Structure 1
Amino acid sequence: MKPDLKTIFKQIEKIQEELEKVQAELENKTVTEEVGGGMVKVTVNGKKEVISIEIDKEVVNPDDIGMLEDLLVVAVNKALQSADKMISEEIAKATSGLLPGLPGFPFNFPGFKA
């Protein structure tokens, strides 16, 4: 039996509302990643904005600025990956069960990016 279009459109409306709610909530959620044994810490929010960077003074060596730069790149990339994971998990929770015929919605749609 095929689901009727009216029901599907209502479910899509509900999903859109849930996604808007999640998007607003994600602005206040953060993830923090650290590298170099905690020498560099980067915090990113759910909008994938860098909120803070903490650098241990021991890693600041004017003769080896390249190491600090490398640590920053790694920490920022790890934090952004963690933010992506957090975003995906929040979206999955918000849309879980709303379209029972589409497991993994909206992640199974081509071109979808969290």
Structure 2
Amino acid sequence: MKNMQQMMKQVQKMQAEMQKTQEALKDKIVEGSAGGGVVTVKANGHKQIVDIAIKPEAIDPDDVEMLQDLVLTAVNDALRNVDELVGKEMGRFTGGLNIPGLF
């Protein structure tokens, strides 16, 4: 019975650490880019876009579709980088297992 109580305390401690890590991810920023860096997007660990930068040379009024594609590519790159960050940070608790819905 005592072992069960110890195990429950360990689980509660791990849950608290996971919650703390998830909250800390909001302050971690990753970047994605496209077009050799003419469009850059920054996102936090909660998959919120926090900044988009577009260099003037990326803007061609006659080719708006290209700029749209660059922004889309940079956003997707940033979000992929967030997934990698979250996987690395939360993987400490799961031993590298991807548990759907956990984070």
Whether these two folds match at TM > 0.5 is: yes
Instruction: Name stretches of at least 5 consecutive residues in structure 2 with no aligned partner.
Output: none
Aligned to 2:101: 112
Aligned counterparts, 1:1-114, within 5 A: 4-93=3-92, 95=93, 104=95, 107-109=97-99, 111-114=100-103
Number of residue pairs aligned between Structure 1 and Structure 2:
101
1:6 is displaced (CA, Å) by: 2.8
Q: Secondary structure at the match of 1:10?
A: helix
Does the Cα contact within 8 Å between 2:32 and 2:76 map onto a contact in 1?
no
Q: Deviations over 1:29-66 (max 9, x none)?
A: 10011110110000000111000000011111111000
Instruction: Compute the TM-score of the two structures, normalised by the length of structure 1.
Output: 0.79
The percent identity for this pair of structures is 37
- In 2, the alpha carbon distance for the partners of 1:113 and 1:14 equals 16
- In 2, the alpha carbon distance for the partners of 1:75 and 1:38 equals 9
- In 2, the alpha carbon distance for the partners of 1:10 and 1:19 equals 14
Decide whether aligned partners of structure 1 residues 108 and 83 sit closer, same or farther in structure 2, where only a CA change above 3 A counts: closer
- In 1, the alpha carbon distance for the partners of 2:102 and 2:35 equals 30
AA partner of residue 48 (structure 2): E
Which has a greater percent of helix?
Answer: 2
Decide whether aligned partners of structure 1 residues 108 and 43 sit closer, same or farther in structure 2, where only a CA change above 3 A counts: closer
- In 2, the alpha carbon distance for the partners of 1:46 and 1:108 equals 17
Does the Cα contact within 8 Å between 2:39 and 2:74 map onto a contact in 1?
yes
Instruction: Name stretches of at least 5 consecutive residues in structure 1 with no aligned partner.
Output: 96-102
Q: Secondary structure at the match of 1:61?
A: coil
- In 1, the alpha carbon distance for the partners of 2:33 and 2:98 equals 31
1:7 is displaced (CA, Å) by: 3.3
